[in-house]
Structure formats: structure tokens, C-alpha cells
Structure 1
Amino acid sequence: MCKQTQLLNIPPGGGRLNLQLLRPPRQTEKVVVVMGATGTGKSKLSIDLATRFSGEIVNSDKIQVYEGLDIVTNKITEAEQRGVPHHLLGTINPNSNFMAANFTKSASNAIKSISSRKKLPIIVGGSNSYIEALIESENYECCFLWMDISIPVLDSFVSDRVDRMVMAGMVEEVRNIFDFTSDYSRGIKTAIGVPEFDRYFRMEAFLGEESRANLLREVIDEIKSNTRKLARRQLEKIDRLRNVKEWNLHRLDATDVFRKQGREADAAWERLVAGPSFGIVSRFLWNVGPERYRNVTAIRRAAAMEMAMAAVGH
């Protein structure tokens, strides 16, 4: 998981102890990480957390880092951001290849900047490879929140979301960047919703109205299918982080939120997601609130200090 402070190496047989080791360890940045498959409500939770705990958000979605295609990439709107600063959101050249190593460097710089201003860094996104690379290369104290929804409910929501994206202008947005030499292996053109339209834009001028409408429906269905497959791959990676790498993920089941509407959905969000997450983060930051988070790093530091002091006494 996050790098842990190593236990003190006490010399055997009463050897001399390096008293410098008794000094408090360098303070590491505390970060909150919001994870989950696409469409599970990560952005909404991140805004709630940022407004509650004076935080700023570092985007860890490998497609949303690129500039442009705001509908296709489902970027959070300015209104939805509610004044919360966002880093690495729509800032990278869309024709470049922004890899995990690039993200690690940029995100770590953003976290340092946020922490230096006494704000809470909140990492949010569905690209678990980005998150894993960052966490394993930096010495952070981490609180992981995992937004989860049952697969049938998520599948239905994803399909409805694609329909809303089409109504919002997704087809024209992709058309504006289409050319007959498009490379779908790099940059923003790897986004689901871009390569699927290639055959439509190549053929639409040669098709009648009915055939064109049928082909558009096929493309939209393909986008829905590929998005559902993406969600499953994301969940598989989360399972690996939990079960193989033994990351301590706090699961927040938002299934019932997505089954409801209006005030009932809002109430379910507060009860199942916002309320529990506030308690977990409060425990993480200040050691107050429900016993849902144990700071392993702090525990090991305390144990190391006790061992060192005992050795000095002897």
C-alpha cells in the first residue's frame, strides 16, 4: 500500500543506538484516494469531501487528463465542481501520450503544493494503474475510499449515461476531431466513444437515412458495451489491490442510491456514502470518529519508539 516507516534496527548485545533514529520521522503528506469503476459517483463524493475537509482534487483518470472532448470523457462541469480546485483535469495536450510515470511526477507535485497550503489532497479517478504507480513511488499516508455499485445497477446506469451523452452532443464533439488518418492508439483518441465512431463517419455520406440511423444505433450500443467492459476491468484491478497487494479499501456501497430518485436518492447518499466517508476521513485525519480507520504507519512508529526507548534504558 502506501510506504510504511521502517521499524528501528536495534543493535543486539547492547550495541550503541543511533539516537538520531529517535527523532520524529519526516511528516508525510496525508492523502485521500477515491476509487471505483466508471459511473459510481466518485466525482460527487470527492466534491463533498473537498468542501467538508478543505480539500483540492487531483484527477487520476487517464483520459480526463487530456484537454478537450468534455462530453465523451464525462468531465465534471464547472458548476459541479462548486469552486473546488482541480488539478490535472483537461490540462494535457490531447495528442500526447501521458503515461503512469508522467502522472506520478505531475500528481506528486500537485500534492506537495496542496499540502503546503494546508489543504487536503484528494486523488480521484478510475485509472487504478495511475493510482498504483503514484502510491507505490511516494511516501504518503493514505485513506482509500472505494465507491461500489452492484453490476446490474451499474450496467443500467452506464447505458443511460451514454444516451445522455449522445443527447448532449457527443456525436458532433467526436466529429469535430475526426480525420481519415486518425491514430486511436495514443492520447485522447483512445477514449471510449472515439474509435467506435470511425466507421460511422467514414460511411455516413454513402448511406440513406434509415441505414445511417441503424449504424448510429450500432455504434452507440458498442460504446455502451465497451464502457461496461471497462467497468469490469476496473473492478478486477481493485480486487487485485485488495486481495493481492492488501490495500485497506473502505467500501461504500452506493447501489441503493442509484435505485432511487430525487429526495430519496439524496437521503440514501447521505446515509450510505457521504456520512460514512466523513467519519472515515475524520478518523484518518484527526483520530476522531468511528473506529473504521487504523493508521498503520502511526502504530508502527509508536512501536518503534517504544522499542528504542527500552533499549536506551537497558
Structure 2
Amino acid sequence: MKFHEWGVGVDPDESCWVESVKFNISFLVIVRVFFEIGPPAYEEIGCADFVPNNLDQGSQFSVPYFENFEQVFSKAASWMKHQRNINITNMQSIDYKMKNDFDASELDTQRSFFVESGRYTTKYLRILRICFTRSFKQHQSQQPAKQQHRDKPPTLQHQHTFPQRQHQMLQRQNSLQSLSGLQPPTYNHSIEAPNNPAPITECRYVTFEPMMLSSGGIIGIPLFERLSETMKRAMLWLNRTNSDVKLISAETVPVRMFSGNQYGNHEVTYTWNRGEQKEFWLLVIRLYLTGTIDVAPPDVIMPPFLNKKHHRHHGSVGSGSDEHDECCCVM
């Protein structure tokens, strides 16, 4: 989240902010947990970060080149195949500030605070963070690990949980119930730890880009469909794919359109912000899925306006021409 050190301080519920070349912007990484009030689940929360490798250090006349997001996701998918007894709850791409232009090993994904300059260039590397839960009762004698994963999927280690900690969690839950005035539902069966989740053997992601309705000409601003229309196409696509496909999580990903090394490409992981430069942003929708994915026909994911335009200029929508690839990218 963004905040000004001279302002009202850190407010996770703040919904707007102001940027200016005269001031620096401070960023604080927070953890927001959504939960249900009910019987204890006897779970702990963990996360694993996957960082792009540097493929080319660049030169005075070229920028460094890092693995794209698909390659980072491939490492994460390989890691998930080797894990047991964890339940993936969220997958999210996050931009982390870089200290060194070409050495990703110096990227500290545990750093919770950094500053974006209002006048100078701030460089970022986009990582993939996977959050998961794990049952207390299944693991009793190992230690936690928080690692950055690059080439080799590491072995996940587990945390020893003391009875006092479980007691503290129950006390915390009771206090939340008292404050909220809500009562947990009653059950006729005893509370047991959840069954061991099966490892995720096949994981993919699908990215939906807003369709450009007008280029804006030479000096104009491009016009894109609204995000709600993009989401409708994503939901329609999801309903038309195989029944065994399950949604893990979804996110909206901001992409720089004309600057910062991205130029509208959501697969680029190395980017930057120049404080004095105006920026245009495009929001794409990314779905993280498990199961065998069948790509739906193009007419399912194209909005009606573009369907008519496509029929007029390119003939049948189902012809399989390359123009449809911009509507949905399956990785």
C-alpha cells in the first residue's frame, strides 16, 4: 500500500492517494487475511516466493533481461507438484523494488518498506507469491522456512506448534466472537483436521486483456472496454471450459502501456518508474487454475462489438486466425 510519511500515516483502508514529482511515495507491504468465524481449523499460513532469474545483464545501450512471468510460473508449478499436505489459497504477482539492476539474488522479498522516488528512476522485479495453509495436526516436529525459489524446487519445511499457541488462538477467536456479536454455527460431528490435500499436478494461468475499442490516433488516449466487460468474458470462458478445472485465485494486474520496459506486455517482469514521466496503465485479469484446460472458441471470449467488427473485416469468427490470441492468453 502507498502512504505519505508526512500524512495521516498508515491506513490499510485508505482508498485514494496523490502522487507528485515533488514528493517521494512510501510503500508498506501488509498482510490481509480474510477468515470465517467458526470452529477452529487448526491451520497455519505460509507463503513461498518465486523470483525471475537474470538472463542478460544488459549493457550501456541495452536493459537487463529477466525471465518472463510464464517461466517464473513454471518454476512455481514444479514446486507445487512436490508438496504434500498443503492447500493453496492464493497466488499473486507483486512488484518488488530492486537495489541492483541485474542481480535478482539481492532482491529481498521479505522487505516490508521501500520508497519510490518522485524525481528519479525506481526499478522493480515482478515476483510470484503463493500463499497456502497447512494443518497443525499433520506436522509436529519440523521448522518453518521462508525461501525464494528460482531453479530447484526446495523441500517445504514445517513448523512445530505448541499447545500454548493453539490455546492462544482459541482465546483470540473467542474475543473476536465477543466483539462481532456473531455466534459460530453448531455441528453434530467432532472437529477433526482436514483431509490431506492432494498435490497440484497440473496448474495453469489464463490472462484476459481488455479489448481496445479505439487507438486514440496520434495524440489521443486509447479507449478500452470496461473491466467489468473483461470480467464477463473471463467468467464466460471459465464456464465453457472443462468441468474439472478449478479456480485457485484471481487478480487484476497493472501493466505499463508506453513506458517502463513493459509496453503493454503483462509477461515482462523487469520494469521501472520514472518519477517525472507520465504513465498510462492497463489492468488485465489473470486467473490461476488447476485441471486440464480446453480453450473456448474465440466467439466466447470476444465482446459483441468486436464480434461484429471481426465478421465485417475477417470473415468467420471460428476461422482460428491469429487475431484472437490477444483476447485470452493461456499459459
TM-score category by the smaller chain?
Answer: under 0.3
TM-score by length of 2: 0.23
Question: Counting helix residues as a fraction of each chain, which structure ranks higher?
Answer: 1
TM-score by length of 1: 0.24
Higher RCO (CA-CA < 8 Å; seq separation 6+): 1
